[in-house]
Chains A and B, each alone.
Chain A
């Protein structure tokens, strides 16, 4: 196996360990616990208050706009990584190009802020 992939073996080992942790603890619990189901136990726990109505409530459009802002700056981050790694190589040219990129994207944040979609009331 190549050096590169061997490095990722750590990830696989941790993944397996995480899976085992969950599997073993739940499995042990299932083996040891008594099994007497009742309607009360199956009910969702809401800090002692009986839950009312359906689990589904239509959420506000605000969440969507926040998620959209997140996607936008996520993509921005993706472009910043390769630039940051070669900061000196790309020099002034890279800095100028990246500044234009970031300023144009920052206008999106400015727009959202001025239009009041960031206010949470």
Chain B
């Protein structure tokens, strides 16, 4: 009874490994191993060195991403399970930059208190690696493993403040709901695999085009998979973890979760829906319609009542996910084919990344002086920190979608997609989105009113000292937000690139 029997020689052929295509991931693996080893050797004495190494590593991984982009070829490897195309590269770039900005935000935050630094950077890099892999994964197992790699370090990082009860609550809620959602998603994947017998998305896509694909089993599988990722992007009703986790986690990690982790979820959804489930828009389109409408409305309405800036931004980022879901809800009705919905989503995600990272960077900067997360503590910020006030105004009005700041262009392309679809359902959704934009303006503007018009609550007007890393992050995000608003072509180009080559 030999349980394991060996393979037959001659059947197996080693896959051709395209090292250029894997280069960004390989660089990142090398850096994260180096970070761990250096931290072990120096035993916490080289804190600055480890942080610098991690930052340089993220930038170094950007180099092969750029050379691959210049090269421009679509590289499909290991039987179509791993693909490096323009879509993957655009998102790999986004993840690396978001990771780098998080690193900039973290360095002073970590130095202020007695946190484990080496491990922090190691886990952050691991999570970024998971996202990089996710952007190229075109098969169910790769997507699952990438999702785990981007999530598990994030669960740990959310609870990095070990002695803080809110930090414990943050990590526990995030972890328990996260693994539950992953379980649901895996069940869905197993149903899809059971009916198609394939894990590679292109194969699943072609099997789900035929008449046999209309089984209820397939529909249920698709619903389960989407529910799993709806948790990741904190879409209502799977958002309940987000405010508590965002509030309890270290603020740089909150920024990372709200931008990079969310983008990771969207990347996975786009790959699954637009390649694997393309033929079943009768299932996912209504589902996304409901998710988008609920996410925008609930997120914005609850954000209105928040008094803590981090919780407000948490609900705002829930609502923003709703806008990003809009193109999904009409993708099947687009004249140019469902692929036309991908550009607007990518565009919105890129813009959202710049403005939301900026907003959290500012929260960090202000909290260095006020030690408070209450919106009321922003009173009279203009009197002692005019620069920060202007920046925060830029970020909140960009999030609200006021031209000429970045956000308006994201909203524009998304609304344009709804109009292109031109179905009654799309118009209704457009009206809901428009109403929501007005609601959102109210709470974004209330932050600005607090900063510009209210008096300083405790009368302390010593200037805020902003360290170099934070300044760099703030200027990066502010420049991106303003430039995108004035020259939206910059980001529109990326949006156009990020369409799968195989789509109509």
Contacts and interface: CB of A to CB of B under 8 A. Distances in A.
B contact patch SS: loop
Given A107-B36, A111-B40, A86 B12 contact: yes
Contact of B40 (A8, A10, A93, A110): A110
B40 A82 contact: no
B33 A90 contact: no
B1 A7 contact: yes
Given A107-B33, A110-B40, A111-B40, A90 B5 contact: no
Contacts of A115: 40
A85 B5 contact: yes
A88 B9 contact: yes
Given A91-B14, A107-B37, A86 B7 contact: yes
Nearest to B8: A89
Contact of A89 (B4, B7, B29, B36): B7
A89 B12 contact: yes
Interface string B3-20: 011111101101000000
Given A86-B12, A89-B12, A104-B33, A114 B4 contact: no
A107 B29 CA distance: 13
Contact of B1 (A8, A91, A110, A114): A8
A91 B13 CA distance: 10
Contacts of B5: 85
A87 B40 CA distance: 34
Interface in A77-120: 81-82, 85-86, 88-91, 93-94, 104, 107, 110-111, 114-115
A46 B5 CA distance: 48
Contacts of B29: 104
B130 to A, nearest CB: 14
Nearest to B40: A114
Contacts of A110: 37, 40
20 contacts: A8-B1, A10-B1, A81-B4, A85-B5, A85-B7, A86-B6, A86-B7, A86-B12, A89-B7, A89-B9, A89-B11, A89-B12, A90-B12, A94-B14, A104-B29, A104-B33, A110-B37, A111-B36, A114-B40, A115-B40
Contacts of B9: 88-89
A106 B6 CA distance: 26
A contact patch SS: helix
A101 to B, nearest CB: 11
Interface of A: 7-8, 10, 81-82, 85-86, 88-91, 93-94, 104, 107, 110-111, 114-115
A93 B4 contact: no
B261 to A, nearest CB: 23
Given A82-B7, A114-B40, 11 more contacts: A85-B4, A85-B6, A85-B7, A86-B7, A89-B6, A89-B7, A90-B14, A91-B14, A104-B33, A107-B37, A110-B37
Contacts, number: 37
A7 B5 CA distance: 15
B6 A93 contact: no
Nearest to A7: B1
Nearest to A110: B40
Given A85-B6, A114-B40, A93 B33 contact: no
A93 B14 contact: yes
Contacts of A7: 1
Nearest to A114: B40
Interface string B234-270: 0000000000000000000000000000000000000
Given A88-B9, A89-B9, A110-B40, A82 B14 contact: no
A105 B6 CA distance: 25
Interface string B92-113: 0000000000000000000000
B17 to A, nearest CB: 8
Listed residue (A88, A89, A114) with the most chain B CB atoms within 10 angstroms of its CB = A89
A9 to B, nearest CB: 10
A82 B4 CA distance: 8
B77 to A, nearest CB: 14
Closest 3 pairs between A and B when the two form their complex, measured CB to CB: A85-B6, A93-B14, A86-B7
A86 B5 CA distance: 9
A81 B5 CA distance: 10
B477 to A, nearest CB: 34
Interface string B176-190: 000000000000000
A49 B367 CA distance: 60
B11 to A, nearest CB: 8
Contacts of B7: 82, 85-86, 89
Nearest to B5: A85
Listed residue (A10, A94, A107, A110) with the most chain B CB atoms within 10 angstroms of its CB = A107
Listed residue (B5, B14, B43) with the most chain A CB atoms within 10 angstroms of its CB = B14
B476 to A, nearest CB: 32
Contacts of B43: 114
Nearest to A104: B33
A106 to B, nearest CB: 11
A107 B8 CA distance: 33
Nearest to B116: A115
A104 to B, nearest CB: 7
